[in-house]
A and B are shown apart, each in its own frame.
Chain A
Amino acid sequence: MAAELHVELVAADRNVWSGEATLVVARTTSGDIGVMPGHQPLLGVLESGPVTIRTSEGGTVVAAVHGGFISFADNKLSLLAEIAELADEIDVQRAERALESAKSEEDAGAERRADVRLRAATGQ
């Protein structure tokens, strides 16, 4: 059996996802980072962006994460985010509409959020 790490994806108001994984890829302020079991203890600041979790069953969980942290110690990885949504929870049409309206209102923050959401949902 391949080594595993325990992942907790936690949003401010709920526990979004937790389970075993073999690889987690997240975007920190200094670039994408991949964490595998046995990684050195790590604490980093996350950018708004998609997080990819390769589960130990071979599946992939993608989530859009806004404003958060990644911390890894003792083979336990926590992803903290103010807002976190799993890809299959995201309503693509709504995200598209949000992107349109953010673009027309030139709201950079909202545009970025909608963009991240869309990318996580469509897997690009």
Chain B
Amino acid sequence: MGAQLRVYKRRIRAVTATKKITKAMEMIAASRIVKAQRKVAASMPYATELTRAVTAVATGSTTKHPLTTEAEAPARAAIVLITSDRGLAGGYSSNAIKAADRLTERLRGEGKEVDTYIVGRKGVAYYGFRERKVAESWTGFTDSPSYADAKNVAAPLIEAIQTETAEGGVDELHIVFTEFVSMMTQNPVDDRMLPLSLEKVQEESSTKGEILPLFDFEPSAEDVLDALLPRYVESRIYNALLQSAASEHAARRRAMKSATDNAGDLVKSLSRLANAARQAEITQEISEIVGGASAMADASAGSDK
């Protein structure tokens, strides 16, 4: 076998092996999307009920709570950025990081200091490499986050927003995550969680236009709001984590699908080249034989004379 042909054969083998791996990853990701979507759906009743309750308290009472009123001069904001733990998901993590960068830029432009909280190894690595300050980070659960993980993430944020700004607290809480629109579309979005803007909450909940009854608060409106808001933050973070997980799997599936397709194309074109090389080899051999035979014939014809 010619050297050229051997090299092609080896490359075809290597690409075929890669294709098998990407194909397997694609199928794994596809099966996980469904699971992640189911989790998002399962968390919806709690989220909607909670949003309804928050809207009810905030509209049904005249309570002024620090978490629903905007600070006069917000000086600090916290951003939670949700990325993935693992790569090979196309632009998933870098798109979320870019969205966070844009938001940071905007908040800095408004004269606010920004504290960044990061979920996922990719985001941590990105910030670590650029030596940017990270207030806190969590890794290891972006594949299938549980409610306990969301609580862990929410705890320092709630604490930060409840402390006075002068003592290192924050005035605003933003979250950057990847919204799961469909199997093909996932959008990085940024969203302000606190202070709560009521119009937005009403938009999100299905209670739009519905007039909420006057509630009796037990023990009091302030206490209910006090207890509700941390749960609200946790539930929002949980929802963001779940959506991000679904988006991550969808992005990975798509990235792996195109990798598989590319590998297929590569195998095809390499096979063509290998065939051409083999054919050239055969042609060369034939012409060598023919040439040799005619040379021999010429030589023997010459000696006969």
Task: Please report whether the interface of chain B is mostly helix, strand, loop or mixed according to DSSP.
Answer: helix
Other-chain contact of A82, B49, B53, B219, B231 (Cβ < 8 Å) = B231
Instruction: Give chain A interface residues in 6-43, CB to chain B under 8 Å.
Output: 8, 10-15, 28-30, 33, 40-43
- Given contacts A12-B43, A44-B218, A82-B147, whether A69 and B227 have CB atoms under 8 Å apart is yes
Least CB distance, B240 to chain A, in whole angstroms: 14
Other-chain contact of A42, B42, B50, B218, B227 (Cβ < 8 Å) = B218
Contact A73 B215 (CB under 8 A): yes
Q: Residue on B with the closest CB to A42?
A: B216
Other-chain contact of B223, A12, A42, A45, A71 (Cβ < 8 Å) = A45
- B204-246 interface bits toward A, Cβ cutoff 8 Å, 1 = contact, 0 = none: 0000000011111111000110011001001100100000000
Q: Residue on A with the closest CB to B217?
A: A43
Instruction: Give chain B interface residues in 50-64, CB to chain A under 8 Å.
Output: 50, 52-53, 56-57
Contact A69 B53 (CB under 8 A): yes
Least CB distance, A23 to chain B, in whole angstroms: 17
Q: Is A118 an interface residue (CB 8 A)?
A: no
Contact B224 A40 (CB under 8 A): no
Instruction: Give chain A interface residues in 57-77, CB to chain B under 8 Å.
Output: 67-71, 73-74
Other-chain contact of B218, A8, A11, A45, A78 (Cβ < 8 Å) = A45
- A91-120 interface bits toward B, Cβ cutoff 8 Å, 1 = contact, 0 = none: 000000000000000000000000000000
Contact A41 B214 (CB under 8 A): yes
Contact A30 B219 (CB under 8 A): yes
Q: Is B39 an interface residue (CB 8 A)?
A: yes
Instruction: Give chain B interface residues in 149-195, CB to chain A under 8 Å.
Output: 150-151
Q: Is B287 an interface residue (CB 8 A)?
A: no
Inter-chain CA distance A85–B143, complex, in Å, is 25
Q: Tell me how many residue pairs across A and B have CB atoms closer than 8 Å.
A: 91
Q: Is A87 an interface residue (CB 8 A)?
A: no
Which residues of the other chain, B, contact A83 by a CB distance below 8 angstroms? 147
Q: Residue on A with the closest CB to B47?
A: A12
Contact A42 B43 (CB under 8 A): no
Contact B53 A43 (CB under 8 A): yes
Q: Is B46 an interface residue (CB 8 A)?
A: yes
Interface size on A, residues (CB 8 A): 28
Least CB distance, B68 to chain A, in whole angstroms: 15
Q: Is B45 an interface residue (CB 8 A)?
A: yes
Least CB distance, A100 to chain B, in whole angstroms: 22
Q: Is B269 an interface residue (CB 8 A)?
A: no
Inter-chain CA distance A28–B235, complex, in Å, is 21
Contact A43 B50 (CB under 8 A): no
Contact B231 A69 (CB under 8 A): yes
Least CB distance, B233 to chain A, in whole angstroms: 13
Inter-chain CA distance A44–B147, complex, in Å, is 22
Contact A13 B224 (CB under 8 A): no
Q: Is A53 an interface residue (CB 8 A)?
A: no
Contact B228 A69 (CB under 8 A): yes
Q: Is A80 an interface residue (CB 8 A)?
A: yes
Least CB distance, A101 to chain B, in whole angstroms: 18
Q: Is B69 an interface residue (CB 8 A)?
A: no
Provide a sorted-by-A list of 11 A–B residue pairs whose CB atoms are within 8 angstroms.
Answer: A8-B49, A12-B238, A13-B39, A13-B146, A14-B43, A28-B219, A29-B218, A29-B223, A69-B231, A71-B215, A73-B213
User: Hey, which bits of chain B sit against chain A, CB under 8 A?
Assistant: 39, 42-43, 45-46, 49-50, 52-53, 56-57, 146-147, 150-151, 212-219, 223-224, 227-228, 231, 234-235, 238
